[in-house]
Structures are given as structure tokens and as C-alpha cells.
Chain A
Amino acid sequence: MGANTGTDLVRLTAAETAGVIARGEASALDVTDAYLERIRAVDGAVHAFLHVDAEGAREAARRVDARRAAGEDQGPLAGVPLALKDVITTEGIPTTCGSRILEGWVPPYDATVTRRLREAGLVILGKTNMDEFAMGSSTEHSAFGPTHNPWDLARIPGGSGGGSAAAVAAFEAPFAIGTDTGGSIRQPAAVTGTVGVKPTYGGVSRYGLVALASSLDQAGPCARTVLDAALLHSTIAGHDPLDSTSVDAPVPDVVGAARAADVRGMRIGVVRQFSGEGYQPGVEQRFREGVALLEELGATVVEVDCPAFDYALPAYYLILPSECSSNLARYDAMRYGLRVGDDGVASAEDVMAVTRDAGFGPEAKRRIMLGTYALSSGYYDAYYGQAQKVRTLIVRDFEAAFEQADVLVSPTTPTTAFRIGERVDDPLAMYLADLCTIPSNLAGNASMSLPVGLAPEDGLPVGLQVIAPPLADDRLYRVGGALEAALTDRWGHLLIDEAPQLATTTEGTA
């Protein structure tokens, strides 16, 4: 592979990049420099990054090159760069969660995900933009300005992990880490034509992942190919004694499954509830074509009925705000983060309330108050208690569906990328973007979004969601790998290669 110029290097997949570095065709430093240059050239327009750690990245790359020169054995992804969503703590690199309340905070410790990446020799390019504390579906709720979709800069890149998805789609990183509480990896993947995976709850450690809703949050990979997602997944997954909800079981062979890419004999369940009113015709069309293709590849398709899914969205918008209002109580202006109004006279409680009003954006405030409401005495049983029972019904629907099918499929999100500004003042309309992704978080199972084409009416990417039972994450990769291979064969390239060229500038304006 004659990929020795910077432009060529950033077009490689992560797997190819690892090979180029291992064979010595390019150094890890060359690769990192190529990405830093790409970020300088396009991130003024995309705004995927909140912080670029050029110096730290170049240092990490040099260490990989030195170890390679010394003949040391290194992991399969040594020297490959990546971007981290700004909700994962990084020692020495600012972590803001897209919030003014944490602006400038430099964590004194690494998340387990960060530590595993560093130990595997991956190079952290920087931290990506997100909706504040991961609350949103468009990245417009970032305190530091929205991220723009590389397919159309006037549109949203999804959320909350729009920065990670846009960085990957704009070739500013070969892959990235996202987190998914209600769809924040999968919905951005769908609207940016990339691959995103929410592993089984507990599959990846939450230690050092700044909490939004602790029973729903899960970190996972964002990538341009299914295999790259699997490689990153296998690097960050596995039991961690520092997270008491971490699953103490072997990580499924996701890389083997992505390579096998074989759906022959698999039973695929189409979820009846996820179609019809509110679904864009082009999204439904590409989804149906994807299902037909899986059938051609040797899978059997059945329809499954999950009636409780109709109540997943309301249950989620009670459970999430409840957990969020508790978790975000830690921002009290005392030990870290923003403090305003401390004039020597005001009480700690006044300073706390003034600081929280100044430091949180509108969506965070809405959800904190909603959670406070749902947990209030007198309302607890009707709201939070009832939502937890609905959660049981959703788990039961999944269990019944997985008796008929090995995986379930649906569109990832009902529409393609909407315009920036379109839903920002209409919370309910925004929430609908996560209609199909939320049930997986409530049940804790594994799911993936992968691109299945462009909607004919607007030329924007459409994602297909695959859902597997808890701990059967490998099935996502078998299905995703097979579908991606067949589509790539048909198109002659990955969908992301059809994304418009971005105008490049020599000086960053972000």
C-alpha cells in the first residue's frame, strides 16, 4: 500500500493504519501528524473537537515508534490515533462534558477506557464535542457551540456524541470512543454514515465515565467500518473491579465475528413497532432494502411484536432524568468546577444555586427538574416506580422476541439529519430521535448502527440498527460485517467515501 502522504493516510481504515505502522511503511508519528493536519484543515468548519492534544499525541506516537524500533511486541492497534468523547476522564487533558460547569477541569485520573487505550499504544488526538452531560440528540446542547455534520454543515451530526461521529466521518480520526445512554453512539452514527456500537451494559467499564444515568450509560466504539469498531470494542471491553456493574465474563469474539461476516442460517427479527407514522420514506426504504439483502445473504427474516416498546420513550424520560438529577447534584461549586457568587457574604447554598444556574444549560436544567419532580414524594410511585415496571415489560418483550430471532433490526432513527436549530427549542421533537435506540438501553442489551445508503429524497445517510441479547455482542458484528461487505461490493466503496469533500483551510478557526 503506497499510503505515504498525509491525505492518503487519513483515508485508511484503523485496521489498515495499524498494518501500515506495523510494517514500517509509515511511522506512528507520520500518521498522527497527518490527522493533526487534517483537524487543522477542517475542524474550523466541523467543530468536532473541544480540545486537541497535539503535543501529547505526538509524544505517544513517538513512544510507539521507539518501542517498534527496539523490536518490542506491541498490541494490534499500536500507534493508531483516536478521539475521545469529552465525557471520559483523561489525566492531564481537560474534560468538560460540554458544560460550562466543568470548563477547564483537568481530571487527576484516567478512566479505565482511557487507561486501556493508552496501554494498547493508541494515540489520543483530543476530546470531542457533545451535548452537555450527554443530554441531547444533536450536539446543539454543548455549551461550546454545535458540531456540524460533514455531509451537510447546516445539519446536526446527531447527539449526544456528535463530535465523535463527525470526527470519524470527516476523517479527523480513524475511530473514536462514544457513550450511549439512549442512543448517543448509534443515532450520530446513523446520521453521519458511520458505524457505532453500544456494547452490552457492563461490557465496558464505566469507571471514569462522567455519569449521566448510571443504569443506562455505556461506552463503545465509533468507526468507519464494522471491523474497526470490533477492534476498538475488544480493546476497551472486559471486566473491571473498579466498576461494580462491570460484567465478569469473557468479552465475546467481536473481531472474529466481524471477519466471519456470515449471516447464513441466522434468524432476523424486524420490530413491528418501529415503522409507520413519523418515519421518513427514504429511511424506511433503505431499511427494507437492507433487510432484503440480509435475506439474500442467507438469513431468515421474521416479524416480531414488542408492544411495550411504545412506552419505552416515556419510561426513559422518567428514569433518565431521575438518575441525572441525582448524579448532577455533585456539581455543587465546592470541590471542583465552576463557582460564582462567592462574595464572602452569600451562603454555600446560595452560591451552589447561583453557580448551577450559571453553569448548566437549558436541557440539563429541564432534565434535573423533571427528575426532581419524578422522584418527589407523592409522585414517585406514579412516575419513577411505574417507569421501572415498564422497564420490566420491555425486557420481557425482548426476551420473547429473542426466542424467535437471533438478532432484531430496525431503522436506527426515524429521520435523516435534521437542520441545526430545527428542534432545539422543542424538547419532545428532539427526544423522538432516540425512539428506536432507547429500548436497548433500558434492557441493557447490545446494539449497533451501520450505514445502509442515502435517503433518495435528501441524499443523507440512513442507519440500520441491529440488536442482540445481552453478552451476545458478537452477533452484531456478524450481521454488520455481512451487510457492510455486501453493500460495499454493490457500491464499490464504503458509504462514507461518498461524503462531500470539505473545504480545507490552513488555519483553524475553531
Chain B
Amino acid sequence: MSDSGSITREEVAHLARLARLALDDDELDRFGPQLDVIIGAVSRIGDLDTADVPPTSHALPLTNVTRPDEVRPGLTQLQALAGAPAAEDGRFRVPRILGEEA
């Protein structure tokens, strides 16, 4: 097998925080070694010399794609709110977004 990517448990916890995943201890224990193996395996791409190679971000190059600026029907307020976990007064109801001290 390829080299270990040697990702630490702290790094996994950090990634989980960045990705807004409230992982528990069991998950950290399980995902750490798995991510380590995967990162070790994908690191192989560093072996290729790509000094003069431009990146490809998209399979078929397209530039400045526009469409006619025409008014089309959009979702109604009712449709937009139909899938909401919580709604109030015709709006999305969300948990508090500011901390206590704010």
C-alpha cells in the first residue's frame, strides 16, 4: 500500500469543524485511519511532473454562457417554504444566529 498521509485525530476534528459535522468520538476514531489511508493513496498524483501542464477545471471549455433575459415564473412563497424545517409568518424560521454576548 502507498505511504500513509499521516493525518492526526486533531486534524480530522478540525476538518469536521470546518465542514460543520458534529462528529462523535467513535466517528473520529473510525474516520481518522480511513482518511489517512485514502489521502496516502491519492497523494500518488504528486509523483507526476506537471510543471508545464495547465489545469483542466471543466471537460468541455465554454465561456460567457448567457441566455435571454426573459421573465419566467419562479417559485411561489408557498412552494419555497413547503420544504422548510420551520416557517413563520411566510418566512424561514431559523435558530439564533448571534451569540449570547452579541
Q: Which residues of A contact B (CB under 8 A)?
A: 105-109, 200-202, 215-216, 241-242, 244-245, 247, 308, 311, 314-315, 317-318, 325, 329, 332-339, 342, 344, 346-354, 356-357, 360, 362, 365-366, 368-370, 372-373, 376, 382-383, 385-393, 395, 427-428, 442-445, 470
Contact in complex: B94, A334 (CB < 8 Å): yes
Is B95 positioned at the interface, with any CB of A under 8 Å from its CB?
Answer: yes
Asked if B55 is at the interface of the complex by the 8 Å CB criterion, the answer is yes
A335 touches B39 (CB 8 A): no
Please state if A342 and B53 are interface contacts (CB–CB under 8 Å): no
The distance from the CB of A405 to the nearest CB of chain B, in whole angstroms, is 20
B residues 49-63 near A (Cβ < 8 Å) are 50, 53-60, 62
Once the chains bind, are A366 and B34 in contact (CB under 8 Å)? yes
Contact status A427-B21, CB under 8 Å: no
Contacting residue for B83 out of A105, A317, A372, A385, CB 8 A: A105
Nearest chain A CB to B38 CB, angstrom units = 6
Distance A311 CA – B2 CA, assembled complex (angstroms)? 13
Please tell me if the beta carbons of B55 and A202 are within 8 angstroms of each other in the complex.
no
A346-B95, A349-B20 known; A388 vs B57 contact (CB < 8 Å):
yes
On whether the beta carbons of A108 and B57 are closer than 8 Å, the reply is no
Query: Interface 1/0s, chain B 47-79, versus A by CB < 8 A?
Result: 010100111111110100101100000010001
Asked whether A106 and B84 contact (CB < 8 A) given A201-B59, A366-B35, A428-B37, the answer is no
Secondary structure type dominating chain B contacts? loop
Please name all residues of chain A whose beta carbon is closer than 8 Å to the beta carbon of B24 when the two chains form the complex: 357
**From residue B47, how far is it (CB to closest CB) to chain A in Å?**
8
- A392 closest partner in B (C-beta): B56
Mark B residues whose CB is within 8 Å of A: 7, 11-12, 15-24, 27, 30-31, 34-35, 37-39, 41-46, 48, 50, 53-60, 62, 65, 67-68, 75, 79-80, 82-86, 92, 94-99
Contact residues in A for B46 (Cβ distance below 8 Å) = 382, 386
Q: Whole-angstrom distance from the CB of B34 to the nearest CB of chain A?
A: 6
- Asked if A357 contacts B53 (CB within 8 A), the reply is no
- B50 with A365: CB separation less than 8 A: no
For residue A109, give the distance in angstroms from its CB to the closest CB of chain B. 7
Q: Could you name 7 residue pairs across A and B whose Cβ atoms are closer than 8 Å?
A: A105-B83, A106-B82, A245-B65, A314-B42, A357-B21, A393-B48, A443-B59
Contacts beyond the supplied A354-B22, A386-B48, A427-B38: 9 A-B pairs with Cβ under 8 Å: A108-B75, A202-B62, A216-B59, A337-B85, A349-B97, A350-B95, A357-B23, A373-B35, A427-B34
A444→B60 contact, CB < 8 A: yes
**A376 CA / B35 CA spacing, docked (Å):** 15
Complex Cα spacing A465 to B97, Å:
51
When the two chains form the complex, which single residue of B7, B16, B18, B55 contacts A389, counting CB atoms closer than 8 Å? B55
From A215, A360, A373, A376, B21 is in contact (CB under 8 Å) with A360
Chain B nearest Cβ from A64, distance in angstroms: 26
The CA of A200 and the CA of B31, in the complex, are separated in Å by 35
Cα A163 to Cα B43 with chains together (Å): 33
Q: Which B residues touch A391, using CB under 8 A?
A: 55-56
Neighbour of A311 across the interface among B35, B48, B58, B85, CB < 8 A: B48
